[in-house]
Each structure stands twice: as structure tokens, then as C-alpha cells.
Structure 1
Amino acid sequence: MLQTQPLVSVVILCWNRKDDVKESLTRLRGQTYKEMEVIVVDNGSTDGTIAMIEEDFPEVRLLKMPKNMGIEAYNIGFKNAKGEYIVILDDDSFPAEDAIEKMVDKFKNDEKLGIVAFDVRNYFSYDETNKKVEEKKNTSAAIQNYLMAFNGAGAGARKDVIEQVGFYPEEFFLYWNEQDLSFRVLDAGYKIEFFSDIVSYHKYSPANRASWRAPFYYTRNAFWLLWKNYPMTMVIPITFRLIYLVFYYSLEQYTTVYLKAMFSAIFNIKQIKDKRKPVKKYIAENLRIPFDVSFTFYR
């Protein structure tokens, strides 16, 4: 009897990026790995995304949200996934054609591997980066010397692991959700490893982060990420450092958004009150979180 390959569920969250979603879904059709389902969770798009998917990609499972629910909608996709493994993508990212096949091999070879972090590369340098992948297609690099999170524009996860530890933190709405999940995966005894030969391409554009949303949610969620996951001996000094940075960069950049975010974190702390579960100190010390990124948007 022929042994069947495990099913992989590709989960994409989209919101008003019809052309990008169309390209991503078209690229997924070219995957060398065929035992997969594609789930698109639409966050209330109004630009024709839904009609395009229904017409051009009838094989896709389309889950329609009544409004923009942020990353909570990812969790709906995860819960509906039937695969043993889940590939996580943004609506403007897609994996290289052999990425899912390579990801499955990594999972098969290491039962403690909880998340595979793809090498997320700039789509706008596609031709150059694709050539480099071809030149090194038989090489991989798993980072062993320190703990790491993953990029939500390209990653694979064991479904049973993220079911066990809990999915993305719905209270965050946007940003730091990958890091929050990483703390819980690592604390449960699983590994997150990066492989340079498993590639995805992301249409990163700084213009998409020019509004108040990115600095607000990055800053607010930095406090919540800290308060949820760190041991108390680390929470207090890092909290004071974050408060200092909020005031410093508010003055430097002539903005009130960081202050609004900090006060939102404090006044809405009840949203995380029952979700605090400090991880082992080793994990908190070695999963390096670049909190300062919250304060770079108005420079």
C-alpha cells in the first residue's frame, strides 16, 4: 500500500488586497507538494477580493468575516484547518514552489520541531533571491545558538502544537502575535528553527505602516507581551524602560501615539488579566524581543 503524504493547510488572512491575494493563490497552485488545502480568511474586504476568489479559485476554502477582526481571524482559519501541518502566510506573501515540500520533510525528521521559520525575502528582489535559492537549494541552516520567533509572512506549524499552547492572542488585534505564540511554543518544550533553504516572498512596503495603527499596536502590545509572558523579576525593569522610551520618543518625534498606546495598555489590562503565564526565565532571557522597534515609525 502506498503511504500517503500528510495534509498541509495553508492559511492566509486577507483584507482589501485583491491583486496580491490573486498572485499568492496563483503561486500556490505551482507548489511541488500537492497534499494541501488552501484556506483564505477574508477580514471584511470591500475591494472585490471575495468575488475574485470565488470566481478564479474555486478550490479555495473561503471563510468570510463580517468585519476586520484583526489576527483573531487567523485563529478561525487555524481551527478550520484539517491538515497535520499549517502554513501561515500574509495576503501579500507566498512560498517558493518547493517550500512546503521541504517544510514537511523537516517536521517528519524532528518530532520536537514545533514551528519552521521560513526565510522571508523581499518580493521586489524576487529574481535575484530566487537565483540564490537555486544555487543553494540543498543547503539549510537551523539556528541553534539562541531562541527565535518567526515571521508570519512565511512559517509552518504543527497544528497539534499550536492547539495545545493556544493560537494567536486575539486581544492584540495586530502585531507581536508571532512573538507571543513563540513564547508558549518554546515554553511547552518545542523548538522553533529557521531554515535558509525554505523561502517565502513578501511584498513588504513601508507605506503600509505609515498610519497610526502600526506604532499604536506595536507599543500597546509590547507592554502586553511583556506582562503576559515574562517572569516578574524581568517585568518590572523592562516596564520602566518601556515607559521611559514612550516619553523619550514622544518628545523626539512630536507625537502622542506612543502615550495613547501606553495608557491603552494600562487601562485595558483586564484583557490580559487571566492570560498571564510566565515562561521559564531561560526562554525570556534568550528569546530576544526588539521592543525598540515600536518607536521607529515617525523617524
Structure 2
Amino acid sequence: MPVLPSVAVVILNWNGRSFLESFLPSVCASTYGNLRIILADNASTDDSVAFTMQHFPQVEIIRNEKNSGFAGGYNEALQLVKSDYYVLLNQDVEVEPNWIEPVIKLMESDAKIAACQPKLRAYASKDEFEYAGAAGGWMDVLGYTFCRGRILYTTEKDYGQYDDDQDVFWATGAALFIRSACFHEVGGFDPFFFAHMEEVDLCWRLQRAGYRVCYCAESRVYHVGGGSLPQGNPRKLYLNFRNNLIMLYKNLHAGDKVIILPQRFFLDLLAAAKSLAAGKPNDARAIFRAYRHYRSWRRKVWPGYEDDGLPRPRLLSLNGVFPGIMIWRYYFLGRNKFSDLAGKKK
């Protein structure tokens, strides 16, 4: 009988005692036969580590010296984890017992599949897709991200419409399966991101390196979401805008940059104006702050790692890229489902 590839489920934790109490039992009930479960603690100030050691002694503990966010925290912890596959799992995710097996089977079928995600449903409404990943991440021609099953803040009910395994542009960081060798080959997460968009940036670099990113419909997990920063938080808005701009500048082909970035500047300015008109000055300030820090990053940080050694193919040559402008079709044509984007609203 062939030996199963080794899998390490690594849960990055920061002050997540209540989440661990609720969701670690499901993770520990996983049926995969060659599994380690690791809690990577990001310098928590609550008793989550002591709680885990007392109630889940089978879970290994890694203690990071400081809270470096999602990106830096995982980079630090994964230096210490030896396994064929990593599964980066949010602390607020409930899993089904056999959630690992289908994904590993899919990834083992092709060595070029570097990353994969399960179907992500909402914990509070288990027949609906969840914002953070739904049925796999996509990107439009201007760099706006969305998912099969979730466009902007509109999520769909799951009635089997996305039950096909498929190549995608990015896999959710809430439950990210990734070959450990590939993670380290492309340099892991960009620590400057701290949180938000880091998994999209990582998956883009994986595609630039010639790998595939996939979605596995047979595996299902349930995500609470908003555990660190809820939707509508200006800090979250700031990180999303700043990191999206940085990601585009890092990864785009030079010919795409001159077309996409000016259009993004105009549309993001409209978004800030819309926030002001709606009486949300903090949101507008978050967008302007994101642009200010993006320009600072270009001057001070980018010159240090401009050449990452990976090719930069044209955006439309990559998997999971929608050849249109998602926000135009959503706001002006009323196409708020993934299946409607390319055609008429049903």
C-alpha cells in the first residue's frame, strides 16, 4: 500500500481561545492517515496556548515571538514545519472529517498543482458560500478579485452549481492547501502585506512559476469570517486597497501595467468620492492612505526586490482571469452571480 503524503494543518492563532474551543474538535476529528495538527501562535495575550495544551495535547505548538500578521506569522512558523503539504487553516473554520483526502488526491494527480482550496461555505448559513473563498478565487482584467459564488458582497446559495473541480486564479487563505516545496520556492507570503491579499499574491507568483492553482468541490469547510477585521472596517479597506495595488505592481507584465494602473487610479478615486458622498469619510481616508503608502512602498521597498526571478506573463494568459471589468457588470448591468458575469442576468 503506498505511503500517504504527509500533511501538516497549521492554524495561525492570535487571541483565538473561543474559536479554538469551538473549531479545534472538528480539525482533530480529521480522518486523513498521515496528519499533524499545529497551532502557530502569533504572540497571543490570552490563554489560547494553555487551553490548547490542556485540552488538545495532540496538537503541536509553535510560538512566534511577535504578531507579524497573517503573512509574517505563517512565514515564520512554516520555517519549522517539515511536511509534503501544508494546510493553512484559519482558526474560525469548521471542517468535515474527510475534508483532506479529496484535495490531496486531486493535487497528487498532477505535480503542477501547487495550491488548492476546498469549497468554502458560511458557518452561520451552511447552504451559502462564504465571502473569503466560496468556490475558488478569480480576478478581472483590472485586478479586482472575486469568487465563484461571491462577487463583491453578494454571496450565492450553494445548490451544486460549482461542483466541478477547476483551475482558479487564487485559493483562499482561510483553508489553503499548498505543496511545501512550492511555498518556499516562490518565497512564501510577502510579509509587507501583513494581512489581506497575501494569498492572491502568492497564488499569482505560483502561476508565474508555471504551477496550477485549483478548487476541489468534494471537500467542504465552514468559515465564520471577519474574525480579525470585520467587513466595513476602515483598516480592512485600507489593507485591501494598498495590498491590491502593491500586488498588481509586483506581478503585472510591463505592457499590462501601463494599461491597468491608470484605470485603477481613476476607479479607486471614484470609490473614495462615493464613500464621501455616502457619509463615510473614514472609508475615503482609508483609500487615500492606501495610495499614499503604496507610493511610499514603490520608492522605499520595491527597489530591493524588483527582480524576483519569475517571468511576468500577460494577465489574460493566466488561469482564473475574467476578460472583462467585474465592477462594471455588477453595478451597471446587475450581474451579481459568477455564472451571469459573461452573459445576461438570469
Q: TM-score range by the shorter chain?
A: 0.7 to 0.9
Describe the superposition over 1:238-294 as per-residue Cα deviations: whole angstroms up to 9, x where unpaired.
2212222332222221221100110011012222333335521156665438996xx
Answering whether residue 224 of structure 2 is matched by residue 203 of structure 1, we say yes
Query: Match of 2:196?
Result: 175
- Return the alpha-carbon distance in structure 2 between the equivalents of residues 110 and 231 of structure 1: 27
- Alignment counterpart, residue 186 of structure 1, candidates 193, 196, 207: 207
Describe the superposition over 1:198-223 as per-residue Cα deviations: whole angstroms up to 9, x where unpaired.
11210024972333221111111111
CA contact (8 A) 1:95 1:154 kept: no
What letter matches 1:262 in structure 2? Y
What letter matches 2:304 in structure 1? D
Q: Secondary structure of the equivalent of 2:79?
A: helix
Q: Secondary structure of the equivalent of 1:80?
A: coil
Answering whether residue 313 of structure 2 is matched by residue 280 of structure 1, we say yes
1:60-75 pair list within 5 angstroms: 60-70=59-69, 71-75=71-75
CA contact (8 A) 2:99 2:220 kept: yes
- Return the alpha-carbon distance in structure 2 between the equivalents of residues 3 and 253 of structure 1: 57
Q: Secondary structure of the equivalent of 2:270?
A: helix
Query: Match of 2:179?
Result: 158
- Return the alpha-carbon distance in structure 2 between the equivalents of residues 174 and 108 of structure 1: 29
CA contact (8 A) 2:121 2:222 kept: yes
CA contact (8 A) 1:228 1:275 kept: no
User: For structure 2, which runs of at least 5 residues remain unmatched after alignment?
Assistant: 129-158, 277-283, 332-346
Q: How much has 1:142 moved relative to structure 2?
A: 1.9
Q: How much has 1:108 moved relative to structure 2?
A: 2.1
Answering whether residue 285 of structure 2 is matched by residue 256 of structure 1, we say yes
Identity %: 23
1:96-245 pair list within 5 angstroms: 96-126=96-126, 128=127, 141-144=164-167, 147-205=168-226, 208-245=230-267
Query: Match of 1:132?
Result: none
- Return the alpha-carbon distance in structure 1 between the equivalents of residues 239 and 86 of structure 2: 26
What letter matches 1:252 in structure 2? K
CA contact (8 A) 2:253 2:315 kept: no
Describe the superposition over 1:84-138 as per-residue Cα deviations: whole angstroms up to 9, x where unpaired.
0111111111332111122221222222211122111111123x57xxxxxx99x
The structure-2 alpha-carbon separation of the partners of 1:291 and 1:41, relative to structure 1 and needing over 3 Å to count, comes to farther
What letter matches 1:148 in structure 2? F
- Return the alpha-carbon distance in structure 2 between the equivalents of residues 271 and 291 of structure 1: 30
The structure-2 alpha-carbon separation of the partners of 1:252 and 1:236, relative to structure 1 and needing over 3 Å to count, comes to same
Query: Match of 2:146?
Result: none
Structure 1, 209-218 or 220-229: larger mean CA deviation? 209-218
Query: Match of 2:58?
Result: 59
- Return the alpha-carbon distance in structure 1 between the equivalents of residues 73 and 109 of structure 2: 31
- Return the alpha-carbon distance in structure 2 between the equivalents of residues 272 and 9 of structure 1: 32
- Return the alpha-carbon distance in structure 2 between the equivalents of residues 66 and 76 of structure 1: 9
- Return the alpha-carbon distance in structure 1 between the equivalents of residues 200 and 7 of structure 2: 23
- Return the alpha-carbon distance in structure 1 between the equivalents of residues 120 and 92 of structure 2: 12
- Return the alpha-carbon distance in structure 1 between the equivalents of residues 320 and 304 of structure 2: 23
**TM-score normalised per structure 1:** 0.85
CA contact (8 A) 2:186 2:206 kept: yes
What letter matches 1:275 in structure 2? Y
Q: Secondary structure of the equivalent of 1:68?
A: coil
**TM-score normalised per structure 2:** 0.74
What letter matches 1:197 in structure 2? E
What letter matches 1:241 in structure 2? Q
What letter matches 2:211 in structure 1? Y
Describe the superposition over 1:42-100 as per-residue Cα deviations: whole angstroms up to 9, x where unpaired.
22222321221121122222222233211210112222222101111111113321111
Describe the superposition over 1:177-228 as per-residue Cα deviations: whole angstroms up to 9, x where unpaired.
1111111111222111111111121002497233322111111111100110
What letter matches 1:199 in structure 2? R
Q: How much has 1:17 moved relative to structure 2?
A: 2.0
Describe the superposition over 1:132-161 as per-residue Cα deviations: whole angstroms up to 9, x where unpaired.
xxxx99x962225xx421111112111111
User: For structure 1, which runs of at least 5 residues remain unmatched after alignment?
Assistant: 130-135
- Return the alpha-carbon distance in structure 2 between the equivalents of residues 77 and 291 of structure 1: 36
Query: Match of 2:138?
Result: none
Q: RMSD across aligned C-alpha pairs, in angstroms?
A: 2.6
What letter matches 1:240 in structure 2? P
What letter matches 1:37 in structure 2? R
CA contact (8 A) 1:216 1:257 kept: yes
CA contact (8 A) 2:6 2:34 kept: yes
